[in-house]
Structure 1
Amino acid sequence: MIAVMMEDTDLVATWNVPLSKKTYTVKFEHGTTTGKRIIYVDDKVVLKRDYMFKLVGKESFNIEKFPCTISIDAMGIFSYEYCLEVNGKAFEKFQEQQKKSLIIWCDHIGGIETRICLDKETMDVWVNGNKIETTGEFLDDGTNTHFTYGSNTCIIRSKSSGKKQIGLVYTLTVNGKSIESENSKEDRAKAAEDTEMMKRLLAIQDQDA
C-alpha cells in the first residue's frame, strides 16, 4: 500500500516485484486532474489511459504469468491510496512469500553483474533471467546443485540448519568463493535495525527512571 498527497509529478507509486527470472520494477502514473493512468513494467508501458472521468478504480495487467491489479482509492480530498496485488495477494504478502521461496545472490562474476536465483519449491536455478541446467548431488547432510555460468563453476549447497523454525540453509560458491545471499543481507540489516531500536528504547527507559 502506498499513500500519496497530490503533487506536481504524476508518478505516484513504485514497486519492486521479485520473481525467479528477475526483479521487475512497476511504476504507476496517475493524473489526479485528468484521470490519466499509465503503468510501466521495467520502463515499458503496459497500460495507458489518457483520460478517465473517474479518478478511483482498478487497473489490471500481467507480469509473466502472474495477474496484477493496481487499486486507486481516495483517502480524502487531496490524497489517494495505491495498492498492488500480485497473483491475488497484497504486494507485501506476495513479497514475503517470494522471500521464503526464492534465494537470490547478486555479485560480479567474471566482471559481469550477475543475479542468481534458486526457486526452493522447484529447485530451478536462474542466472540473469535465463533458466540454467543443473546437476544434483545427494550428500549425507544435504544436497549440492551444480551448474556452470560461462567458465565459472557454481555450487548451491543445501543442508539442515538444525533448527525447525529455520529449516534448510542454502549457500552458493562460485569458483570456490562463497557469495552472501541477498536474503541474508536483508536479515542482517533488519537485525541491526531491531538492535538499534532496542538500544533507543532502553536509553529512553533509563532517562525516565
Structure 2
Amino acid sequence: MASGDDSPIFEDDESPLCSLEKMTDLVAVWDVALSDGVHKIEFEHGTTSGKRVVYVDGKEEIRREWMFKLVGKETFFVGAAKTKATINIDAISGFAYEYTLEIDGKSLKKYMENRSKTTNTWVLHLDGEELRVVLEKDTMDVWCNGQRMETAGEFVDDGTETHFSVGNHDCYIKAVSSGKRREGIIHTLIVDNREIPELTQ
C-alpha cells in the first residue's frame, strides 16, 4: 500500500466497477490538477507477475510485463503541456511497497503547494456546463476546460484586465495591486459583470 504525503487517493464509489475488474493489480490512484484540467493517474503493480501499468485519464500510457526488479520508477507525461511525471516504487518491508508520485521533479505535495502560488483557479456553471478556468500568473495564459484561451490584455486605471470569451459570455480577469508586499497582485474573474469566487485548493 502507499504511504507518505504523496500517497494516492484510493478508488471511490463513483468509479465504474468494470475498471476495477480490469485492473486487478491496482495499487495507487492520484488526482493531479494541471492548467488543462484534473488528471487521474492509476498505477498497477503486479508483485508476483512483475507487471507495471500506468493509466492517465483511463488511457494506458505504459505497460511492462515480467519486470524482475520490483522497485524502481516509471516516467511518463501528463496533460496538454506534457508535464513530466514519475512514479517511484520503493520497498518498505518484506513484500510491502510504497508508491509516490513526482510531478516536474517535485513530490506531488510540493508541486501542488508551488502551483497554488503560481496559478488561480475558478469553477463556475455557465449554460448548464461546469467550467474550470485557470490563470497561470507567470505567463498570464488562461485555460478553460483544457483549452488555452485567446486573450486580449488591457491596461485600466487600477491595474490590468485580461479579456476572453466563453461561448456568448464576456469574461475577464482583473489584476490589481493589494497594496501589501506579501500579498502582491490580486486576480479576480468577472463573467458577465459578475465576480466569481476563487477555488481554494
TM surpasses 0.5 = yes
Cα RMSD (Å): 2.0
Q: Which amino acid aligns with 1:126?
A: W
Is contact 1:156–1:170 with CA below 8 Å preserved after alignment?
yes
Alignment match, 1:144: 161
Gaps of 5+ in 2: 1-5, 10-22
Between structure 1 and structure 2, the one with the greater Rg is 1
**Separation of aligned partners in 2, 1:79 and 1:179:** 46
SS at match of 2:100: strand
2:84 matches 1:67: yes
Q: CA deviation at 1:85?
A: 1.5
Q: Which amino acid aligns with 2:55?
A: Y
Paired residues, what number? 181
Alignment match, 2:7: 2
Alignment match, 1:177: 194
SS at match of 1:2: coil
Q: Which amino acid aligns with 1:46?
A: E
Alignment match, 2:111: 94
SS at match of 1:52: coil
| Structure 1 residues 27-50: Cα deviation after superposition (integer angstroms, max 9, x where no partner) | 111122222111111111000123
SS at match of 2:114: helix
Q: Which amino acid aligns with 1:2?
A: S
**Separation of aligned partners in 2, 1:182 and 1:14:** 23
SS at match of 2:93: coil
Is contact 1:18–1:98 with CA below 8 Å preserved after alignment?
no
| Structure 1 residues 3-42: Cα deviation after superposition (integer angstroms, max 9, x where no partner) | 89xxx95222222222222221111111222221111111
**Separation of aligned partners in 1, 2:123 and 2:144:** 10
Alignment match, 1:168: 185
| Structure 1 residues 44-88: Cα deviation after superposition (integer angstroms, max 9, x where no partner) | 100012322221111111124322211100111242111112222
Which of the numbers 53, 58, 65 marks the counterpart of 1:50? 65
2:99 matches 1:82: yes
- What TM-score do the two structures reach when normalised by structure 2? 0.83
Gaps of 5+ in 1: 187-209
User: Which is helix-richer, 1 or 2?
Assistant: 1
Q: Where do 1:24-43 residues align within 5 Å?
A: 24-43=39-58
Q: Which amino acid aligns with 1:69?
A: T
Q: Where do 1:178-193 residues align within 5 Å?
A: 178-183=195-200, 186=201
Q: CA deviation at 1:116?
A: 0.9
2:133 matches 1:133: no
Report the identity percentage: 48
**Separation of aligned partners in 2, 1:32 and 1:166:** 48
Which region of structure 1 is more displaced relative to structure 2, 109-118 or 13-22? 13-22
SS at match of 1:125: strand
Q: Which amino acid aligns with 2:185?
A: L
